[in-house]
Amino acid sequence: MLSERAGAWNELALGAGSELDLLVIGGGVTGAAILFEAARRGLRAALVERNDFASGTSSRSSKLIHGGLRYLKEGKIGLTRESVRERQELLRDAPGLVDPIAFVMPHYRGRKPSRATLAFGLAAYDALAGSWQHKYLDREQTLSLVPSLETDGLQGAHRYTDATTDDARLVLRLLGDAHDAGAIALNYVDATELLGNERVVGARLVDAIDGRAIEVRARAVIAATGVFADELREHVGQPPRLRPLRGSHLIVENWRLPLPCAVAFEHPKDSRPVFAYPWLGQTLVGTTDLDHMLPLDNEPSMSREELHYLLNAVQFQFPSTRIGAGDVVATYAGIRPVVEASRDAAPSKVSRDHAVWNERGLVTITGGKLTTFRPMALDALRAAAPQLPPFDVQPRRIFEKPGRYGAHESAVTAAAGPGELDRIGSTPFRWVDLRWAARHEAVVHLEDLLMRRTRIGLLVRDGGEQYFDRIGSICRDELGWTQSRWSDEARAYVSLRQYSYGLPYA
């Protein structure tokens, strides 16, 4: 649960004359985790996000909580160990939000990796996690599990376990628990200027909805703005350090590519790792990895080349399905904030480690991966610790309450009107999920509700337009929208979905 947006602004504005302990800039998973970890340690903390919460990379990831076999292959033992341990703790603490998923990696005559190589890697992978989970399947067992696989040259497969999540909901859960611990979180508020001469002591905040501005002072300021990190670092005279990389994904109709588990394989063109797996009732295919050369302020979208790249991968690995562009329900693209001084290395070869800098009092954290959001948050707090009151930075249980909504699970169910516990089409979302989000989760625009608070915009072929009458009624009830406001929001949403989440035009 989050504060109503106007109330959160007023609370921050009323306290603007006094000093916060911590101001977090950036409302993705890293910023949300920093706010959560700070608030439950008793720090007086606030977070601002200039767009919507999780509107950047944190709603456009591969939706996987994983150790990263390829990092192990590259010798990143520490990153892999940290990742698999975080995966295990999330599986323990967040069932229903982070859930296990079986992966199958088939072996073919003449293709890499070999059975022996992968067996060795998976043994090390499981050893780092402290849980022996991988298994070899012969050809018959493999085809029994995944009948749509290419059969020519198939020898068998290795089966292992990772985890999957709804990345945007993970961000909202962190922000909600931070709010319950006393923190303030505001979306659509831009930090336009940093305060302080010798050392950063706060920021000028501008409400993107009505233009109101306040100056907020804090003992420490942490920038967790992902791919936009260099923008704020420029305010303290620092040169760019990031290499933006784009990763794009397809969502195809589950009945066209029905998978009981994830399938990982190498692309026939460049041997990059590709996967397809069931996600929220549909099948997700990803990912690309290339330098993003377009302006960062533009809404990212998949290119036609990326579309064909992923379709070619699916057609190669699952030829009997005859998957084509017409089977695509939605697409999405996210920009990875990779810390890389040189562009000489291929995008898929650069490090996914995170970095923390303290520059004139501005602590910046960027890079990293979804799975390691908690260690990243704690590293950022450790970097800011000299500017903060004493606090314990040792890791704690990630969540005390299980489930998608944590302590509010029963309240969500109780908020349902007649028929609102029903699912929306074939998606796992219920009508009450829309009502709860509109009432309690700082929804400003229709895209917030359909692309991030729920994932209707990604899972339904028309993005949910077939349900607009009922969705509009909920928005008018809970958000006070007039018919004119609803019409404007619907038009803007349809346009956004066609451009950024539909099939690419060029």
Same structural domain, 234 and 375: yes
What is residue 6's three-state secondary structure?
helix
Same structural domain, 232 and 262: no
The mean pLDDT value for 370-375 works out to 95
The mean pLDDT value for 3-31 works out to 91
Q: Which residues have CB under 8 Å from 121's CB, separation 6+?
A: 69, 72, 73, 113
From 337, 361, 378, the end of a domain falls on: 337
What is residue 213's three-state secondary structure?
strand
The pLDDT of residue 449 is 98
For the chain, the C-alpha Rg in angstroms (whole number) is: 22
- Report CA dihedral (491, 495, 498, 499) to the nearest 10 degrees: -170
CATH code of the domain containing 330: 3.30.9.10
The pLDDT of residue 78 is 81
Residue 360, domain extent: 5-58+168-241+350-387
Q: Is the pTM of this model over 0.75?
A: yes
- Report CA dihedral (107, 112, 118, 121) to the nearest 10 degrees: -160
Q: Where does the pLDDT of residue 353 fall: very low under 50, low under 70, confident under 90, or very high at 90 and above?
A: confident
Given a cut of 80, is residue 452 above it in pLDDT? yes
Q: How distant is the alpha carbon of residue 430 from its chain centre?
A: 21
Say if residues 283 and 258 touch (Cβ distance below 8 Å): yes
Same structural domain, 323 and 360: no
Q: Is residue 130 part of a domain?
A: no
From 278, 308, 337, the end of a domain falls on: 337
Say if residues 416 and 431 touch (Cβ distance below 8 Å): yes
**Burial class of residue 158 (count of CB atoms within 10 Å of its CB; 0-12, 13-18, 19+):** buried
Which long-range CB contacts under 8 A does 322-326 form with residues at least 24 apart?
323/252, 323/256, 323/257, 325/503
Q: Is residue 405 part of a domain?
A: no
Rounded Cα–Cα distance for residues 477 and 149 (Å):
48
Write the single-letter amino acid at 347: P
Given a cut of 80, is residue 352 above it in pLDDT? no
The mean pLDDT value for 453-458 works out to 98
Same structural domain, 255 and 219: no
Same structural domain, 311 and 435: no
| pLDDT tens digit sequence for 377-427 | 999 999 999 999 999 989 999 999 999 999 999 999 999 999 999 999 999
The answer to which of 143-152, 223-232, 349-358, 466-475 has the lowest mean pLDDT is 349-358
CA angle 302–308–311, rounded 5-degree value: 105
Which DSSP state fits 307?
H
Same structural domain, 247 and 373: no
Q: Is residue 345 part of a domain?
A: no
Q: What percent of the chain has pLDDT over 90?
A: 82
Three-state SS for 400-467 is: CCCCCCHHHHHHHHHCCCCCCCCECCCCCCEHHHHHHHHHHCCCCCHHHHHHHHCCHHHHCCCCCHHH
The pLDDT of residue 417 is 95
Q: Is residue 318 part of a domain?
A: yes
CATH code of the domain containing 175: 3.50.50.60
Question: Phi then psi for 450, rounded to 5 degrees?
Answer: -95, -20
Same structural domain, 278 and 361: no
The pLDDT of residue 351 is 64
The pLDDT of residue 1 is 79
The pLDDT of residue 75 is 73
Q: Where does the pLDDT of residue 74 fall: very low under 50, low under 70, confident under 90, or very high at 90 and above?
A: confident
DSSP β-bridge partners for residue 213? 206
The pLDDT of residue 3 is 81
Q: Which residue, 269, 308, 271, is CA-closest to 285?
A: 308
What is residue 270's three-state secondary structure?
coil
- Count of beta carbons in the 10 Å neighbourhood of residue 217: 17
Q: Is residue 128 part of a domain?
A: no
DSSP assignments along 81-127, one per residue = HHHHHHHHHHHHH-TTTEEEEEEEEEEETT-SSPHHHHHHHHHHHHH
| pLDDT tens digit sequence for 151-178 | 999 999 999 999 999 999 999 999 999 9
Same structural domain, 377 and 257: no
Given a cut of 90, is residue 355 above it in pLDDT? yes
Same structural domain, 299 and 433: no
The mean pLDDT value for 258-271 works out to 95
Q: Is residue 85 part of a domain?
A: no
Query: What kind and span of H or E run contains 45?
Result: strand 45-49
Same structural domain, 358 and 318: no
Question: Measured over all CA atoms, what is the biggest interatomic distance in the chain, rounded to whole angstroms?
Answer: 70
Given a cut of 60, is residue 346 above it in pLDDT? yes
Q: Where does the pLDDT of residue 127 fall: very low under 50, low under 70, confident under 90, or very high at 90 and above?
A: confident
| pLDDT tens digit sequence for 288-314 | 999 999 999 999 999 999 999 999 999
| Burial call 443-478: b when 16+ CB within 10 Å, e when fewer | bbbbbbbbbbbbbbbbbbeebbeebbeebbebbeeb
Same structural domain, 176 and 323: no
Highest averaged pLDDT of the listed ranges 6-10, 164-168, 336-340: 164-168
The pLDDT of residue 348 is 61
Same structural domain, 490 and 370: no
The pLDDT of residue 80 is 86
Q: Is residue 121 part of a domain?
A: no
Q: What is the mean pLDDT of the chain?
A: 94
Given a cut of 90, is residue 506 above it in pLDDT? no
Q: Is residue 51 part of a domain?
A: yes
Which long-range CB contacts under 8 A does 94-97 form with residues at least 24 apart?
94/165, 94/170, 94/173, 94/398, 94/399, 94/402, 94/403, 95/402, 95/403, 96/402, 96/403, 96/404, 97/165, 97/166, 97/169, 97/170, 97/173, 97/403, 97/404
Rounded Cα–Cα distance for residues 311 and 301 (Å):
16
Question: Phi then psi for 478, rounded to 5 degrees?
Answer: -95, -30
Q: Which residues have CB under 8 Å from 22's CB, separation 6+?
A: 34, 35, 38, 43, 44, 45, 46, 218, 219, 220, 221, 222, 384, 388
Per the structure, the count of domains in the chain is 3
| Residue spans of beta strands (DSSP E) within 208-340 | 213-223, 242-252, 262-266, 273-279, 282-286, 290-291, 328-339
